[in-house]
Chain A
Amino acid sequence: MSDTPRLVVGPFNRVEGDLEVHLDISEGRVAAARVNAPLYRGFERMLEGRAPGDALTLTPRICGICSISQSAAAARALGAAMGLVPTDQGAMLAALIHAVENVSDHLVHFNLFFMPDFTRPCYAARPWYPRAVARFAAIEGQAARAAIAARAGLMHILGLVAGKWPHTLALQPGGVTRTPGARDVLRIQTELRMFRKHLETQVFGGPLEDFAALDSRSALMRWDRGDAGLFLEIAADLDLDALGRGAGRYLSFGAYPLAEGHGFAPGLWQAGEVTAPNMAAIAEDLSHSWMLGGMAHPFDGVTRPDETMREGAYSWCKAPRLEGAPVEVGALARQLIDGHPLAVQLAGGGVLARVAGRLLELARTQILMEAWAEALDPGAVFMRQGNLPETGEGAGLVEAARGSLGHWLRIEGGKIASYQIIAPTTWNFSPRDAQGVPGPLEAALVGAPVEPGEDSPVSVQHIVRSFDPCMVCTVH
């Protein structure tokens, strides 16, 4: 039994930003958790009164890791207000650009953010420990270094067709600013081939199609190749499936909207069923946030920080709810809502399920990117023009690597009257709502073991990082 009834964990690194977790400990386990997103910048306020198109320059700069996701959401929100959608080929190139960021983020998360925790000395006696250290030691691990190189290579695609990464202006409501030629398409395919090679030799130790075809938990746990195999061995040894389990309610806005439909389908998963999410039933609760105002749908929401940081509230993060209840978002949510049989079996799971869902999506997205690159037509029109209305509104709903991202925009007098953003980690790391219902991470942390003497419990670190949080997006 721990002799520390309360712990405050932070600085919390490898979470793209900072995070403070307050834990009540009882009998060696977390009894309750409160999660504080400790950074407020006020992007929604910065946008008010500006030209609507400025959102394409400013919102990517909310986040250096989900930058293109922010671009995509802004472009879609503006497009909705303009009554403009990208050309078919523009949508496909935009999907490819977005997917490059998302798979890069998955790769960085697995290799640089999540796996290094298994190299901690507390695991020195485990049979897999020497291999974990060789592969994932922070900064020096072989897998980490190979991932950095593979990611830099993959991002040549963004240099080619998006100018640079992060913070491109290439994604526009009508498509993409850079028109690729035949040689660009071949270069894209070459980079994708190199990235597949990395995934198959390092991450999966076998063909992507074989991993993507896994259709059950038992088949997954038999995968013993590559770094995925090492992770699954660790997960089995430490029972990471039981650690940090989710509440089983998941949301996806749908990833990669194309003329023929989404790359990964949208939906709300609860009690084993997928339904169409009611976007009008999204509302942000402010009861435990250092924010002023009432619960509101993001089209009606405001962002007014409570500068007194009142007692009872504990985070700058608002608490978004869908039909009054929290949802978990991320790769696992997308994959099970898309109906992948392995992900469906992992529904409601903990650290293992979230990380396996991400690996599954990494494999499946590579296959999608290859198909899109093959279908790019260098003779096509990649951007359609349109005009901004004097008055209008629009929502841009996309999927970042770490989950559902929404921008809700209102234009009045040709200027931004209101701009509200709900980021993936706003959903996952939300504080309690007025009913006292904790956010998904807060709920998942309950029951996590705390060893005597731990000031930053390693179990808590695994659970937090299994969500692939992006803290700079959370409050924005």
Chain B
Amino acid sequence: MKVLWLQASGCGGCTMSALCAEAPDLIDTLAAAGVEFLWHPALSLASGGEVTRLLQALEAGEIALDCLAVEGAIARGPMGTGRFQMLSGTGRSMLDWVRALAPKAAHVVAVGSCAAYGGVTSAGGNPSDAVGLQYDGAHPGGVLAAGFRGGLGLPVVNVAGCPTHPGWVTETLMLLAKARLTEADLDSLGRPLFYAQHLVHHGCPRNEFYEYKASALQLSDLGCMMEHLGCVGTQAVGDCNIRPWNGEGSCTRGGYPCIACTAPEFEEPRHPFTETPKVAGIPVGLPADMPKAWFMALASLSKAATPERIAKNAVAPRVAVTPTIRKPGGRR
């Protein structure tokens, strides 16, 4: 499968993250499934006229486009022209190129939350009038219609994340190359279920604090960050704590909250990112699929039952009280 990768209105961080793929590295991982790049802006030699000629040949159908991968949102401004991002040397906007090339592609992949939904590029009043490929925030229909399908029948595959985990990108491309990704393997927002069927909460090392609602009061505390610090790991999709980042990392392991960067409109939480909105002192926002009454009952019960070790550690930067060791009684 030959992939044309375009960088639209974004930061390029999903490519930079993909280069962190390990064991094997990005290139060997993709090659193992027969994935190669027709052109990638950060990796390929071709520049200038060589690239323009390639794009023209793809547009004319002279070269098959197995997969169009777009990283970054698509700017529609100013005034609907798309000229907030021109593709250099071509005299045409990225908006125009994406609309021209997507119908030629067997598959279209949105790499990152910007390309999927608009993401951070559409934050704060959306100065460049940016949208995702097939979504405008959570609403179907971006620069491509809600009914758009790639040549092989799939909607835009939304590898959402800000940035994307290297594995999300490589495995999506590999599954497509091996014809093992169907529409049933995507969630209702177009995200591959292999990572979107998990919650960031799964495997979070702060789970014991969560169980007792033993909460961190400030960043650098070890406790659960849901109650005060804006963490939405119990609602956000992603396997971040099942297969960590850069070796051993994740946001919650790094000491800061999950902001649901895999979700549409995460860039506008309507409260400061690291503060939990509350009504009458009670946090707004429930863990996924949890009935409110049960959550309230369990939370008050577990909070009352918090062991001293957990209460103390929750508000400390390093473990202050270690688990009590129960000695086995079998031998003397």
Contact = CB atoms under 8 A, between A and B. Distances in A.
Interface of A: 8-14, 16-20, 36, 38-42, 45-51, 53-54, 56-58, 61-65, 67, 108, 112-113, 116-117, 119-120, 137-140, 145, 148-149, 151-153, 155-156, 158-170, 172, 175-179, 181, 305, 307, 309, 316, 381-383, 385, 455-456, 461, 472
B125 A162 contact: no
A64 B128 contact: no
A178 B121 CA distance: 28
B163 A456 contact: no
A156 B125 contact: no
A45 B127 contact: yes
Contact of B45 (A108, A119, A149, A161): A119
A64 B255 contact: no
A40 B123 CA distance: 13
B20 interface: yes
B254 A177 contact: yes
A117 B15 CA distance: 20
B318 A181 contact: yes
Given A169-B254, A169-B256, A181-B318, A456 B50 contact: yes
A118 to B, nearest CB: 10
B65 interface: no
B274 A152 contact: no
Interface in B1-41: 7, 9-17, 19-22, 25-27, 37, 39, 41
B47 interface: yes
Given A12-B89, A307-B79, A139 B43 contact: yes
Interface in B154-201: 162-163
25 contacts: A10-B90, A13-B46, A13-B47, A39-B84, A39-B85, A40-B127, A40-B128, A42-B127, A58-B124, A65-B16, A145-B25, A151-B20, A155-B20, A160-B249, A166-B13, A166-B163, A168-B254, A169-B219, A169-B274, A170-B256, A177-B220, A178-B255, A305-B84, A307-B77, A456-B48
Nearest to B316: A179
Contacts of A160: 247-249
Contacts of B215: none
Chain B interface residue number, banded: 35 or more
A16 B245 contact: no
Contact of A305 (B78, B245, B247): B78
Given A108-B19, A160-B249, A41 B162 contact: no
Contacts of B273: 51, 53-54, 56-57, 169
B288 interface: no
B67 interface: no
Contacts of A382: 220, 317
B281 interface: no
B128 A42 contact: yes
Nearest to A64: B13
Given A18-B7, A148-B27, A152-B25, A164 B12 contact: no
B42 A41 contact: no
B285 interface: no
B204 interface: no
B42 to A, nearest CB: 6
B115 to A, nearest CB: 13
A171 to B, nearest CB: 10
B303 interface: no
Given A42-B128, A63-B13, A14 B47 contact: yes
Interface in B139-153: none
B88 to A, nearest CB: 2
A234 to B, nearest CB: 16
Given A40-B127, A64-B163, A116-B45, 10 more contacts: A9-B89, A10-B87, A51-B273, A56-B274, A61-B11, A139-B43, A152-B25, A159-B246, A178-B253, A382-B317
Given A10-B89, A18-B41, A40 B84 contact: yes
Contact of A472 (B10, B88, B128, B218): B10
A316 to B, nearest CB: 8
B263 interface: no
B84 A57 contact: no
Contact of B85 (A40, A168, A170, A176): A40
Nearest to A163: B254
A64 B12 contact: yes
Contact of A170 (B87, B254, B318): B254
A61 B119 CA distance: 10
B127 A13 contact: no
Interface in B221-276: 244-257, 259, 261, 267, 272-275
Contacts of A57: 259, 273-274
B43 A156 contact: no
A461 B47 contact: yes
Nearest to B252: A163
B274 A53 contact: yes
